[in-house]
Protein backbone atom coordinates (compact mmCIF):
# COMPACT_ATOMS: atom_id res chain seq x y z
CA UNK A 1 0.00 0.00 0.00
CA UNK A 2 1.47 3.38 -0.93
CA UNK A 3 2.59 5.81 1.74
CA UNK A 4 0.62 9.06 1.63
CA UNK A 5 1.64 12.14 3.63
CA UNK A 6 0.74 15.79 3.56
CA UNK A 7 3.33 17.98 1.89
CA UNK A 8 3.56 20.01 5.11
CA UNK A 9 5.23 16.96 6.79
CA UNK A 10 8.04 17.20 4.26
CA UNK A 11 8.41 20.90 4.88
CA UNK A 12 8.54 20.50 8.68
CA UNK A 13 10.63 17.36 9.02
CA UNK A 14 12.49 16.79 5.78
CA UNK A 15 15.54 15.09 7.36
CA UNK A 16 13.61 12.32 9.10
CA UNK A 17 11.31 11.80 6.15
CA UNK A 18 14.24 11.61 3.72
CA UNK A 19 15.86 8.98 5.96
CA UNK A 20 12.70 6.88 5.87
CA UNK A 21 12.58 7.18 2.04
CA UNK A 22 16.13 5.82 1.85
CA UNK A 23 15.29 2.90 4.17
CA UNK A 24 12.06 1.77 2.54
CA UNK A 25 12.95 2.59 -1.09
CA UNK A 26 9.20 3.04 -1.62
CA UNK A 27 7.67 6.15 -3.20
CA UNK A 28 5.77 8.50 -0.93
CA UNK A 29 2.75 10.36 -2.25
CA UNK A 30 2.58 13.92 -0.95
CA UNK A 31 -0.77 15.64 -0.81
CA UNK A 32 -1.72 19.28 -0.82
CA UNK A 33 -5.21 20.19 0.40
CA UNK A 34 -6.11 16.49 0.37
CA UNK A 35 -5.18 15.86 -3.29
CA UNK A 36 -2.09 14.12 -4.64
CA UNK A 37 0.52 16.72 -5.49
CA UNK A 38 3.95 15.06 -5.70
CA UNK A 39 5.60 11.67 -5.52
CA UNK A 40 8.97 11.48 -3.78
CA UNK A 41 11.25 8.46 -3.85
CA UNK A 42 14.82 7.39 -3.14
CA UNK A 43 17.18 8.28 -6.03
CA UNK A 44 18.70 4.78 -6.22
CA UNK A 45 15.24 3.20 -6.30
CA UNK A 46 14.23 5.67 -9.02
CA UNK A 47 17.33 4.85 -11.10
CA UNK A 48 16.72 1.10 -10.69
CA UNK A 49 13.09 1.48 -11.71
CA UNK A 50 14.09 3.61 -14.72
CA UNK A 51 16.66 1.02 -15.83
CA UNK A 52 14.08 -1.76 -15.53
CA UNK A 53 11.50 0.19 -17.54
CA UNK A 54 14.11 1.03 -20.20
CA UNK A 55 15.07 -2.65 -20.50
CA UNK A 56 11.42 -3.62 -20.89
CA UNK A 57 10.89 -0.94 -23.55
CA UNK A 58 13.98 -2.06 -25.48
CA UNK A 59 12.78 -5.68 -25.40
CA UNK A 60 9.32 -4.64 -26.61
CA UNK A 61 10.93 -2.61 -29.40
CA UNK A 62 12.98 -5.65 -30.52
CA UNK A 63 9.85 -7.80 -30.49
CA UNK A 64 7.93 -5.19 -32.50
CA UNK A 65 10.75 -4.99 -35.09
CA UNK A 66 10.81 -8.79 -35.35
CA UNK A 67 7.07 -8.92 -35.91
CA UNK A 68 7.30 -6.18 -38.55
CA UNK A 69 10.17 -8.01 -40.27
CA UNK A 70 8.16 -11.25 -40.30
CA UNK A 71 5.11 -9.46 -41.65
CA UNK A 72 7.24 -7.88 -44.38
CA UNK A 73 8.60 -11.33 -45.29
CA UNK A 74 5.06 -12.70 -45.42
CA UNK A 75 3.67 -9.91 -47.61
CA UNK A 76 6.65 -10.14 -49.98
CA UNK A 77 6.54 -13.91 -50.38
CA UNK A 78 9.74 -14.65 -48.45
CA UNK A 79 8.23 -17.59 -46.58
CA UNK A 80 8.32 -21.37 -46.94
CA UNK A 81 6.29 -24.26 -45.57
CA UNK A 82 7.22 -25.48 -42.08
CA UNK A 83 8.29 -28.94 -43.29
CA UNK A 84 10.67 -27.45 -45.85
CA UNK A 85 12.17 -25.01 -43.34
CA UNK A 86 12.56 -27.78 -40.74
CA UNK A 87 14.27 -30.08 -43.24
CA UNK A 88 16.70 -27.30 -44.22
CA UNK A 89 17.45 -26.51 -40.58
CA UNK A 90 18.02 -30.20 -39.81
CA UNK A 91 20.45 -30.44 -42.72
CA UNK A 92 22.34 -27.37 -41.47
CA UNK A 93 22.52 -28.71 -37.93
CA UNK A 94 23.48 -32.28 -38.91
CA UNK A 95 27.08 -33.19 -38.19
CA UNK A 96 29.03 -32.50 -41.32
CA UNK A 97 30.39 -35.54 -43.03
CA UNK A 98 34.14 -35.55 -43.15
CA UNK A 99 35.69 -35.80 -46.62
CA UNK A 100 37.10 -39.19 -47.54
CA UNK A 101 40.61 -39.77 -46.23
CA UNK A 102 43.37 -38.48 -48.44
CA UNK A 103 45.95 -40.94 -49.74
CA UNK A 104 48.31 -38.19 -50.84
CA UNK A 105 51.73 -38.55 -49.20
CA UNK A 106 51.92 -34.82 -48.39
CA UNK A 107 51.34 -33.58 -44.86
CA UNK A 108 48.39 -31.22 -44.53
CA UNK A 109 50.01 -28.35 -42.66
CA UNK A 110 50.28 -26.09 -45.68
CA UNK A 111 53.00 -28.00 -47.49
CA UNK A 112 50.68 -28.88 -50.38
CA UNK A 113 51.83 -25.86 -52.41
CA UNK A 114 55.47 -26.91 -52.04
CA UNK A 115 54.74 -30.42 -53.32
CA UNK A 116 52.38 -29.38 -56.11
CA UNK A 117 54.98 -30.31 -58.72
CA UNK A 118 55.05 -33.92 -57.45
CA UNK A 119 51.34 -34.47 -58.14
CA UNK A 120 50.10 -35.52 -61.56
CA UNK A 121 48.56 -32.58 -63.50
CA UNK A 122 44.86 -32.26 -62.75
CA UNK A 123 45.00 -34.53 -59.70
CA UNK A 124 43.16 -33.07 -56.72
CA UNK A 125 45.21 -31.82 -53.80
CA UNK A 126 43.87 -32.86 -50.44
Tell me the C-alpha distance between 121 and 126, whole Å.
Answer: 14
Q: What is the pLDDT along the chain (126 residues), one digit of tens a residue?
A: 788 989 998 889 888 888 888 888 889 899 999 999 999 999 999 999 999 999 999 999 999 999 999 999 999 999 999 999 999 998 888 876 555 566 555 545 444 444 445 555 555 555
Tell me the C-alpha distance between 75 and 61, whole Å.
Answer: 21
* Strand pairing report for 35-40 and 3-6: unpaired
CB 2 within 8 A of CB 27: yes
CB 5 within 8 A of CB 30: yes
Tell me the C-alpha distance between 48 and 42, whole Å.
Answer: 10
- Its pTM stands at 0.55
Amino acid sequence: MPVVKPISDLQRNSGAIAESYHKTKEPVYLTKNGSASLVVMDAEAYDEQTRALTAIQEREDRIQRSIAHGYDDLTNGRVRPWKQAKAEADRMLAPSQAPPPCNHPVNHSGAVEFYRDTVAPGAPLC
